[in-house]
């Protein structure tokens, strides 16, 4: 992501990764454009039992797992939630009968340490770096 595309209103932890082009952590990948995962943010708003909102900044490549920063009072917070939406038919009201949030982290650094690094290690045990 180009530095001029990094919104100064985003938490410093996210900006820290993006400014250094630290965006690919197979199987997790961070955004390269601000709106590229907006579809997942819309799914969260429609499906999550809390009725909340997120700014989605990462996606796991092998499944519909996403990471987003909670939006609180209209502002993007430091809190990261990992979520798995079902992308149900958007023409029908969502039943919101289950929590699509599978994990929560204090900030992007905690997300990387607690979710991304263990997932990377798991992949590294099964796939050679030459195959990336």
Q: How far is 15 from 109, CA to CA, in rounded Å?
A: 11
Would residue 117 count as lying in a domain? yes
pLDDT in tens, 63-75: 999 999 999 999 9
pLDDT under 70: residue ranges of the chain? 88-93, 96
Would residue 57 count as lying in a domain? yes
pLDDT given for residue 33 in this prediction: 92
Which pTM does this prediction carry? 0.91
- Triad 47, 10, 108: Cα angle to 5°: 70
**10: buried, middle or exposed (CB in 10 Å: 19+, 13-18, 0-12)?**
middle
Would residue 132 count as lying in a domain? no
pLDDT in tens, 5-19: 999 999 999 999 999
- Determine contact, residues 116/24, Cβ cutoff 8 Å: no
**3: buried, middle or exposed (CB in 10 Å: 19+, 13-18, 0-12)?**
exposed
The tally of domains found in the chain comes to 1
């Amino acid at each position: 992501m180009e530095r001029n595309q990094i919104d100064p209103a985003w938490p410093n932890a996210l900006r820290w990764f993006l400014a250094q082009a630290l965006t690919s952590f197979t199987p997790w990948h961070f955004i390269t454009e601000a709106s590229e995962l907006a579809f997942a943010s819309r799914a969260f708003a429609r499906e999550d039992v809390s009725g909340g909102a997120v700014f989605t900044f990462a996606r796991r490549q092998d499944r519909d797992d996403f990471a987003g920063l909670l939006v609180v009072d209209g502002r993007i917070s430091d809190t990261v939630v990992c979520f798995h939406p079902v992308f149900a038919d958007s023409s029908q009201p969502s039943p919101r009968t289950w929590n699509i949030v599978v994990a929560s982290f204090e900030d992007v650094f905690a997300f990387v340490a607690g979710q991304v690094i263990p997932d990377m290690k798991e992949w590294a045990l099964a796939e050679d770096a030459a195959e990336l």
